[in-house]
């Protein structure tokens, strides 16, 4: 079976992208990262991708009059690379309907909280400050409302009494690095079926 071509959108550190890249080296991964796009020229993720010989493109939002124009340019790049799955890995912009329509049910995001709790920025800090006993992370399909699409995978992380936001975030990130690379091949193998709000994972 041909491997699904994956495009990853980043804005910063790139550790989730790196986890997907590492996992994609395995023969059973079924997907290959063909393009990394960034909205930040200095995103460390770009250097990591280049070191792995993955093509990278930086598109500056300032060069586009509207968010839709920017997203159209992203879509053009992804289509040129024949991308079948888009992963948002620490991508800090909200995608517009232009982008969603170009890749229906083919965009995944990783969020550092157990959705639907603690949407938006700094999910780990929101959860920590709220005093939850169990925090975690979520991989979900992207829909128009941020952090709200059907959930593909989640991992729970217990909060310890001596945790700080930093120690908790580190353990959440370790789980992010597991569940995002697990979700990608499930998609590539055609095992994810969206039924309303639910994502069913088909058996072998
Ligand atoms: C992660 O915590 C992710 O859940 C959130 O942004 C952060 C990105 O980190 N969406 P990295 O760039 O993948 O290291």
Nearest-CA neighbor of 148 among 182, 186, 119, 176?
119
The token pair that represents 58 in the structure block: 């930086």
How many structural domains is the chain composed of? 1
Q: pLDDT digit string (tens) for 39-78? A: 999 999 999 999 999 999 999 999 999 999 999 999 999 9
> Which of 176, 179, 183 maximizes ligand 1 atoms within 8 Å of its Cβ, making it the mutation to test the pocket?
176
Q: pLDDT digit string (tens) for 86-103? A: 999 999 999 999 999 999
- CATH assignment at residue 66: 3.40.50.170
DSSP summary character for residue 88:
E
Cβ < 6 A, ligand 1 pocket: 12-17, 45, 89-90, 110-112, 173, 176
Crossing angle, helix 15-24 and helix 44-51, to 10 degrees?
20
Whether 71 and 94 have beta carbons less than 8 Å apart is answered as: no
The alpha carbon of 28 and the centre of ligand 1 are apart by a number of angstroms equal to 25
pTM for this predicted structure: 0.97
Q: Which atom of ligand 1 is nearest to the CA of 124?
A: 2
Q: pLDDT digit string (tens) for 126-183? A: 999 999 999 999 999 999 999 999 999 999 999 999 999 999 999 999 999 999 999 9
What is the rounded (10 degree) CA torsion for 88, 93, 99, 103? 10
Q: Which domain holds residue 97?
A: 4-201
111 is catalytic: yes
The alpha carbon of 111 and the centre of ligand 1 are apart by a number of angstroms equal to 7
**Whole-Å CA distances, 167 to 13, 17, 28, 125:** 17, 21, 33, 11
What is the rounded (10 degree) CA torsion for 49, 52, 55, 58? 20
Q: Assign residue 159 a region (left: φ > 0; alpha: ψ between -120 and 50; beta: otherwise).
A: beta
Nearest alpha carbon, ligand 1 atom 8: 90
Q: Which atom of ligand 1 is nearest to the CA of 18?
A: 13
């Amino acid at each position: 079976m041909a491997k699904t071509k994956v495009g990853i959108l980043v804005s910063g550190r790139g550790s989730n992208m790196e986890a997907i890249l590492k996992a994609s080296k395995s023969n059973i991964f079924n997907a290959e990262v063909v393009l990394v796009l960034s909205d930040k020229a200095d995103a460390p993720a770009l250097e990591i991708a280049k070191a792995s010989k993955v093509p990278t493109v930086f598109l500056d939002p300032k060069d586009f009059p509207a968010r839709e124009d920017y997203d159209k340019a992203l879509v053009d790049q992804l289509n040129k690379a024949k991308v079948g799955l888009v992963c948002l890995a620490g991508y800090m912009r909200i995608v517009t309907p232009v982008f969603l329509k170009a890749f229906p049910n083919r965009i995944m995001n990783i969020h550092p909280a157990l959705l639907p709790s603690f949407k938006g920025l700094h999910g780990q800090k929101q959860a920590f400050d709220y005093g939850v006993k169990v925090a975690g992370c979520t991989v979900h399909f992207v829909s128009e409302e941020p952090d709200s699409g059907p959930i593909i995978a989640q991992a729970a992380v217990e909060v310890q009494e001596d945790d700080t936001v930093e120690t908790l975030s580190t353990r959440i990130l370790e789980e992010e690095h597991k569940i995002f690379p697990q979700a990608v091949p499930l998609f590539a193998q055609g095992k994810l079926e969206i039924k309303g709000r639910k994502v069913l994972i088909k058996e072998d």
